[in-house]
Every structure is written in C-alpha cells, then in structure tokens.
Amino acid sequence: MSFNQLAKDRPRLLIVGGGYVGFTVAQKLQTRIKESGGVVTVVDPNPYMTYLPFLPEVAAGNIEARSATVPHRQNLRDCELIDGRVENIDHANRKVTIRGIDEGPEFELPYDEIVVAGGSNTRTFPIPGLAEKAIGMKTIEEAVSVRNWVLERIEVASLTDSEDAKRQALTFVVVGGGFAGIETIAELEDMARTAIERNDRLKVSDLRFVMIEAMGRIMPEVSKDRAEKVVAELRSRGVEVLLNTSVSEVDRDLVKLINMGDKSPAGELATDTLIWCAGVAAASFIKNSDLPIDERGRLRVGADLRVTGDDGPFDGAWAAGDIAAVPDLTGAGPGGFCVPNAQHAVRQAARMAKNIMAAHQGEPLQDYYHEGLGSVAGLGLYKGAATVRNIDLGGLPAWLMHRLYHGYAIPTVDRKARVFTQWGLNMVFGRDTQPLRHLHDPRRAFEKAAGVKVSDAKASL
C-alpha cells in the first residue's frame, strides 16, 4: 500500500488502534465526519477489534475465536482502513509513519487530528529464559494456541510411560493473579478436567494447575473477602495458589520460584506450559513520538481526553484507554488515574467522540467521569465471582452476570448472536475438547507429501 491509494485533500481524523477505544470512536464519528467532508482513518495491524474479556473463554473452547473479534470492514464502512502498524508519530508536523502488515516499506500519512488508542502490551520482566518459554493471554492467537496446546499436552501425557514426562505435560503454570490470570487458569482447569474425563488413560488427579502471584492477594478489582473465596474455590478444585511468590528464572522446562518477601528460593516446577498474565504496560510504539508520556510510559492526557503536556493541551491530539494516563476524577483510581480496563475504555471513547465534535463546533469540552460499576469474572462453567456496587456474588449468580454482561457488551448484534448461540450449543452438546493440530506449521503435511524431511523435534508453545 502507498499514500497514493489513500484519501487526499480531505481533513483526516487518524485513529491509531481499532480496539475498544479506536473502534468505538470510529463507529460514533465515521458518518458525521464523512458527511462533513472529512475522513476517519483507522490504522491497526489487525482488521478487527478483539473483545479481550473473552480470551479465557476462547482458550477454554466456549467461544469460537472469530466470534470474539469484531471485524472493521463490516462495521466501519465509512472509514478508511489501513492494516498496518504506526511506528512513529510526528505531531509537530501532523504525520505518522506506517508499516503495512506485509512488512513492506514504511510510508508517511498526514493527518489533521489524531486519536491515539494503541492499548497495551503484556508486561514482562527481564527474567532469564522467560521470553523463550512463556506465552501471554493478550491476543486471539495466544488464546487459540494455549487451547490447542493444553489439549495436546493431555493427549501426549496419555501416551507416555514416563511418570516424569506425564507430570510435566500435565503441569500448567499461570503467572499473575489479576482478572486475566485467574479467569485463564479457572477456565483452562475446567476444560482440562472435561478433556481428561473423556480420556480413560488419565485421571483428573493427574492434572496440576499452579497459580503464581507476587502479591499477598489475587484480584484487586474485587473485595478482599471475595478474592479469598475465589482462592478457596480454586484450591477446592485442586489448583495450587502460591501467593507472595514469583518466577526468578526459567531454565528450559524448569520454572524456578522465589519468595517475594526474603527473595529465598521457593521451589521449582517442571512444566511444558507457562502462561504469563502479570499485567500490562502502555504500547511501546508511543515512545517514538513527540507527545508527552509519563514515567510509566503512558500518554499524558487531561480529564477532557486531550493529550496534555506541561504547557497545556496539544491541539488536535486525543488519547484514551490502556495507552493513556486518564485522570480518575472520582478519586478511586490508583495514583489518581483510571485503571486500564474495558469499562473505562468504552466510556472514555464515548466521551472523546462527543468532545471531538464539541471542539469542531467551538463548544466547551466535558471531563471524563465514571464511577466503577464493579467487576464480573467467569471461573469456568457455572462458576464466577463478582463485586457489583459493593455487593459480592459468587457461584452461579456471578457466572450468569458475567455471561449476560459480556454477551451484551460485545459490540454488534452479529457478535452477540454468535456468542449466545455458541454458549447455547455447548450447553446442549457439551464442551468441545478437540485440539486443532499444526496451526503453527500448516505446510507440514504438504512438505511430508513432497518428501521433504519434517522435523520431529519436541513441539513448543
């Protein structure tokens, strides 16, 4: 793709990132801006918004991967869409540098206004061996790979005579006891249990799930009491929950642990599977820009969602969501800023769309203000945890609330219908525990047919 194929001579509102914030702003403004003679351009390497709260359910096979994504082309028809990655923002000269998904040459794109909505990346630490071994739970591809991997490990374990190899294959380690980590381990345990019940060479007691959390508690988003109940529930299902513990080193298949207090060794786990859910950090491309960022790498914005530096707001630059430090005017957020979650992201996006139009019309902007409604989490079929308006719920009521809330919240009627239909079909026919193999190397079968030697080395996540 080159600049020649893109709109010229029309005022451009450029949206960097088509996730929660970018998708919502684009959806709300696309027609109005087009009718006023401008163009909304959305740049994202993915041609869809990912509904991240559904990743644990995708990993557990309750929802098909594509149903947890909302396609840009079908829903942002009045936008100009670019499948690419913004690598640099030069706001002083109102242009970005973009690299298309084919990794071809970079090209520059001018804009009049910019919405920076690039979200976040998984937060990692310089732990030896971590990058080589672990996988995150932040993209649809990761969720699909984890699902296939866990189910494949169960099959591998059921065919080995070595107790050590079996134990290693059936040990699943998740690091990070926030919402994403807890939902991931709970949903995977639920799926693995069903898969093992269908395999008469294994017993449920062969499974080992381990949750590693550096703090003294899990799920800071729910009350302490509810979080302790979740720990008790996970332990009753056989999940080992290790609090005040972290990973010091990963030596191939050996995950070495330390106590967070005195930094003493806290044992080792031989495992094929290490899933890293230890929080998020603002998307790093923002460092390649002349916009102001704070000490945590987030874009500095005012409560009206304009990018704001020491000398006041930057004209024509907006940001929200995980990439931005948005002041939390309720005073509830840590350090005075909104926590990075979807509840804030969609509401910030709606406020931003109104403020962008207000700015165009010379009207006053309004500050973003939202009192948290609470949180809901799914912990496997018929199990959940929720704190809503200071009321704690667990078990079936919390699980129903989780499903109703997210089934309703995923954008577009198309996706809502698909998700509810899949949940319904799973209720009737049971959970699908079949892995799809060789998604990493789909040419393998063809190479084999053509007589090319195919590696039989041990697979990795």
C-beta of 52 vs 157, nearer to ligand FAD: 52
C-beta of 196 vs 286, nearer to ligand FAD: 286
CA separation, residue 397 to residues 106, 178, 181, 400, 423 (Å):
51, 21, 21, 5, 16
By CB under 6 A, name the binding residues for ligand FAD. Answer: 16-22, 43-46, 52-53, 55, 85-86, 117-119, 137-138, 179-180, 283, 285, 321-323, 340-343, 345
C-beta of 168 vs 375, nearer to ligand FAD: 375
C-beta of 20 vs 209, nearer to ligand FAD: 20
Q: How far is the CB of 202 from ligand FAD (least distance, A)?
A: 28
**Tokens representing 336?**
């005075």
C-beta of 119 vs 316, nearer to ligand FAD: 119
- Give one DSSP letter per residue of 156-215, joined into a string: HHTT---HHHHHHHTEEEEE--SHHHHHHHHHHHHHHHHHHHT-TT--GGG-EEEEE-SS
Q: Tell how strand 254-259 and strand 265-270 pair up.
A: antiparallel
**Tokens representing 297?**
């790498």
Q: How far is the CB of 117 from ligand FAD (least distance, A)?
A: 5
Q: Which residue's beta carbon is nearest to the bound ligand FAD?
A: 19
Q: How far is the CB of 223 from ligand FAD (least distance, A)?
A: 16
Q: How far is the CB of 97 from ligand FAD (least distance, A)?
A: 10
CA dist 54 and 187 (Å) reads: 11
In total, the chain counts a number of residues equal to: 461
Q: How far is the CB of 26 from ligand FAD (least distance, A)?
A: 11
CA dist 407 and 418 (Å) reads: 9
C-beta of 53 vs 129, nearer to ligand FAD: 53
Q: How far is the CB of 318 from ligand FAD (least distance, A)?
A: 13
C-beta of 91 vs 166, nearer to ligand FAD: 91
C-beta of 329 vs 339, nearer to ligand FAD: 339
CA dist 59 and 55 (Å) reads: 6
CA dist 344 and 439 (Å) reads: 35
Scan for tokens 């932040």, then name that residue.
Answer: 138
Q: How far is the CB of 442 from ligand FAD (least distance, A)?
A: 23
Q: How far is the CB of 45 from ligand FAD (least distance, A)?
A: 5
CB 391, CB 403: distance < 8 Å: no
Residue 48, number of CB atoms within 10 A of its CB: 19
